[in-house]
Amino acid sequence: MSRVSLLEVKIPEDRYEIRLSGSGGQGLVLAAMLLAEAIGADASKSVIQTKSYGPEARGGASKSDVVVSTGEIYYPKALHLDLLLAMTQESLNKYYPDLKAGGTLVIDDTLVSKLPTQDYYGLSFTRIAKEQLKNVMVANVISLGAIAAITNVVGLDALLTAVLARAPRGTEEVNRIAVETGYQEGLALKLKKNPPTN
Amino acid sequence: MPRGDRQLVMGNMACMRGAIYAGMRFYAGYPITPSTEIAEGCARELPKLGGHFIQMEDEIGSIGAVIGAAVAGSKAMTATSGPGYSLMQENIGYAYMIEAPCVIVNVQRGGPSTGLPTKVSQSDTMQARWGTHGDYTAITVAPSTVTDTFTETVRAFNLAERFRTPVTILMDEVVGHMQEMVSFPEPGECEVFNRTKPTCVPSSYMAYGPSKTCVNPMPSYGEGYRWFATGLTHDAHGFSTDKPEEVVVELDKLRNKITNYEDEICKVRAEYMDDAEIAIVSYGSVSRTALQVVKLAREAGVKVGFVQLQTVWPFPLKQLRELLAKTAHVIVAELNMGQIVGEVERVALGDTKVHSLLRYDGDIFTPMQFLEKIEEVRS
């Protein structure tokens, strides 16, 4: 047998790995599903979504992974995160070590106060949902809008289409505003963090 | 669903869709994580098709209703997880005995007992083979992707109808809950088999007894054919017997109707096995990562091969014996404390060494865990 050590093998990085994490009841599994649908609408991309949660209906740690690739996806979960959304302090503490160097960290600064790094995007998803949209349930959708603005993983139009396709009747408008609000907030924050150099 | 219509579909929903494609029109079940979406899907879709969904009082009632529907002529299914599968075992034995075609889905989670409700496991593999008491031969299939779950569910119904027997679909939390972009086959694209019905006059019909294929035609209750469905060992008409010569005929028949057709039942996927020095044997969601690792190893010039048991029971003895004949090492990877590895040890002849890669903490193997194991075997 040849003596190449397989421990030296580079696992191909043709994957973009996303984790949406927080507490049970924040709608993160649903958000991951919407994100996967929006990304997967592009037929050139493979996408797979998995979830992990405790036995509780609400509370307890909850996360959902979305893996995107232009090739076939085998191992279905996320290992080295390109993007981490943390909607609670507990989830940030737990999953920050899985974020790649140079990966994107997005947090809800309504609920997260202790940051292990200065390199992050902090937006008040829960507060905006409560105060501006009068519906705390759309914090997850606002965060998706922000992700569309901050990263290149999904476009605004594809996201809106995916969200509106799943929105229960009568909630289309609040969901549309949630996506757009998140997108605007995300764009503004991105501009503030990376001001034009010229 | 029209071809090319890619949708994000959960493994559990693919199971429901596969079952409906195969003609399932009766579902009885009791919800349990991580299988509940199958019941939800059936509750939503079956009434639209003139089918029936019943949420039963428990899993014992669920499998009872499924067996009743099966003898009344329906293609029937129930879905559960470990704790419910344990409750069903007595009636599953009854289904083996009266030869009622039906499908039981077990989306596995960690055990024993209520164990890890939301975490993945493959620790019911032996239960699918030996869960109920007595001598019988079980058919069990294990899908590894969302698309696979659809086609294996169709196959499970075909096997149940073809061999007049309960068939278990062993899923696991990961394959049940993962969502992938898929498009399913159109009607007519996959073969759908329906049970053979008697053509003789009712007075000469025998539900059991002599048959070249060991599988007797099966009328639906109410069609005018009289047969007796008892869990007691029975004669050709279904009446109980303890005459030694009749007992042996009946038990042989229950076994032979499956073991004589293993070539038709056993499905194994093999890749890179022609010159493999190390083979990885796996089933269920584990096979996804196993295939990735085999490809990685091949790119590095290490001769590793991939074997996936799509049929877990009856154990594909003949295929594995052929595949592993020239392989120096076999790594059996499963999410339990070592169940199918014992079967592989039975088929590995000569100098083939069998190694076990196990995980039972509620998560799946990472590619790195496989690579470390391969290195351990190579050194």
Q: What is the pLDDT of residues A2-45, one digit of tens each?
A: 578 899 888 777 899 999 999 988 999 999 999 999 999 999 99
Minimal Cβ distance to A40: which of B8, B174, B288: B8
Instruction: Return the SS3 of B117.
Output: strand
Instruction: Return the SS3 of A173.
Output: helix
Dihedral sign for Cα atoms in the order B192, B271, B277, B143: negative
B193-200: list long-range contacts, CB under 8 Å, 24+ apart: B193/B157, B193/B158, B193/B161, B193/B162, B194/B23, B194/B161, B195/B101, B195/B161, B195/B162, B195/B164, B197/B223, B198/B225
User: A37 and chain B: CB distance < 8 Å anywhere?
Assistant: yes
The parts of chain B modelled with pLDDT lower than 50 are 1-3
What does the pLDDT average to over A153-177? 97
Minimal Cβ distance to B372: which of A2, A7, A50: A7
DSSP-derived secondary structure letter, B371: H
Digit-coded pLDDT (tens) for A78-100 = 999 999 999 999 999 999 999 99
With 60 as the cut, is the pLDDT of residue A75 above it? yes
With 50 as the cut, is the pLDDT of residue A138 above it? yes
Q: How far is B126 from chain A (nearest CA, A)?
A: 25
Instruction: Return the SS3 of B276.
Output: coil
Is A75 in contact with B366 (Cβ distance < 8 A)?
yes
Is B178 in contact with A1 (Cβ distance < 8 A)?
no
pLDDT value at residue A54: 77
- CA–CA separation, B376 and B214 (whole Å): 47
Digit-coded pLDDT (tens) for B119-162 = 999 999 999 999 999 999 999 999 999 999 999 999 999 999 99
**Confidence label for A198 from pLDDT (cuts 50, 70 and 90):** low
- Which residues neighbour B217 within 8 Å (Cβ) at sequence distance 6 or greater? B195, B196, B197, B198, B199, B205
- CA–CA separation, B346 and B349 (whole Å): 8
- CA–CA separation, B283 and B335 (whole Å): 10
- CA–CA separation, A90 and A21 (whole Å): 9
Chain A residues whose CB is inside 8 A of the B181 CB are 36, 40, 46-47
Instruction: Return the SS3 of A171.
Output: coil
Cβ–Cβ contacts within 10 Å for residue B75, how many? 23
Is A5 in contact with B285 (Cβ distance < 8 A)?
no
Task: Please name the residue ranges forming H helices in A41-76.
Answer: none
Minimal Cβ distance to A2: which of B292, B301, B375: B301
Q: What residues does each domain of chain B span? A: 7-182, 267-378
Structural domain harbouring A29: 14-193
User: A57 and chain B: CB distance < 8 Å anywhere?
Assistant: no
Strand partners, B172: B108
Instruction: Say whether B267-378 and B7-182 share the same fold.
Output: yes
- CA–CA separation, B77 and B103 (whole Å): 5
Digit-coded pLDDT (tens) for A95-133 = 999 999 999 999 999 999 999 999 999 999 999 999 999
pLDDT value at residue B2: 39
Q: How far is B340 from chain A (nearest CA, A)?
A: 21
Overall size of chain A counted in residues = 198
- CA–CA separation, B1 and B350 (whole Å): 50
CB burial readout A162-175, b (16+ within 10 A) else e = bbeeebeeebeebb
Q: How many CA atoms lie within 13 A of B74 on its CB side?
A: 23
Is B303 in contact with A5 (Cβ distance < 8 A)?
no
Cβ contacts below 8 Å, chain A against chain B, sum to: 83
Q: Which residue of B has its CA nearest to A166?
A: B8
- CA–CA separation, A146 and A180 (whole Å): 9
Is A49 in contact with B178 (Cβ distance < 8 A)?
yes
CATH number for the domain harbouring residue A64:
3.40.920.10
Please give the tally of structural domains in chain A.
1
- Residue B6 burial (C-beta neighbours within 10 Å; 0-12, 13-18, 19+): middle
C-beta of residue A147 within 8 angstroms of C-beta of residue A35: yes
pLDDT value at residue A197: 77
The per-residue pLDDT of chain B, averaged, comes to 96
Q: Which residue of B has its CA nearest to A34?
A: B8
pLDDT value at residue B4: 55
- Residue B135 burial (C-beta neighbours within 10 Å; 0-12, 13-18, 19+): exposed
Chain B residues whose CB is inside 8 A of the A43 CB are 6
Identify from B180, B277, B379 which residue to disrupt to test chain A contact, counting A C-beta atoms within 10 A and taking the largest count.
B180
Does A86 reside within a domain? yes
* Nearest alpha carbon to residue A145 among A34, A51, A65: A34
Specify the residue for token string 């890669």. B357
C-beta of residue B123 within 8 angstroms of C-beta of residue B283: no
Q: What class has domain B267-378?
A: alpha beta
Digit-coded pLDDT (tens) for B60-75 = 999 999 999 999 999 9
pLDDT value at residue B14: 98
Task: Please name the residue ranges forming H helices in chain B.
Answer: 11-22, 36-45, 59-71, 82-98, 125-130, 146-163, 173-177, 244-259, 262-265, 286-299, 317-324, 340-347, 367-378
Chain B residues whose CB is inside 8 A of the A76 CB are 174, 178, 285, 288, 364
- CA–CA separation, A164 and B234 (whole Å): 59
Write out residues 76-115 of B within 8 Å (CB-CB) of A: none
Does A100 reside within a domain? yes
Is B118 in contact with A55 (Cβ distance < 8 A)?
yes
Task: Please name the residue ranges forming H helices in B25-163.
Answer: 36-45, 59-71, 82-98, 125-130, 146-163
Is A4 in contact with B292 (Cβ distance < 8 A)?
no
With 80 as the cut, is the pLDDT of residue A59 above it? no
User: A54 and chain B: CB distance < 8 Å anywhere?
Assistant: yes
**If you count DSSP H runs as helices and E runs as strands, how many of each does chain B have, helices first?**
13, 15
Strand partners, B104: B78, B168
Fold held by B7-182: Rossmann fold (3.40.50)
Write out residues 224-283 of B within 8 Å (CB-CB) of A: 277
Identify from B7, B8, B120, B144 which residue to disrupt to test chain A contact, counting A C-beta atoms within 10 A and taking the largest count.
B8
Chain A residues whose CB is inside 8 A of the B174 CB are 50, 76
C-beta of residue B32 within 8 angstroms of C-beta of residue B57: no
- Which residues neighbour A103 within 8 Å (Cβ) at sequence distance 6 or greater? A80, A81, A82, A83, A84
Chain B residues whose CB is inside 8 A of the A52 CB are 118-119
Does A187 reside within a domain? yes
- Which residues neighbour B317 within 8 Å (Cβ) at sequence distance 6 or greater? B262, B343, B346, B347
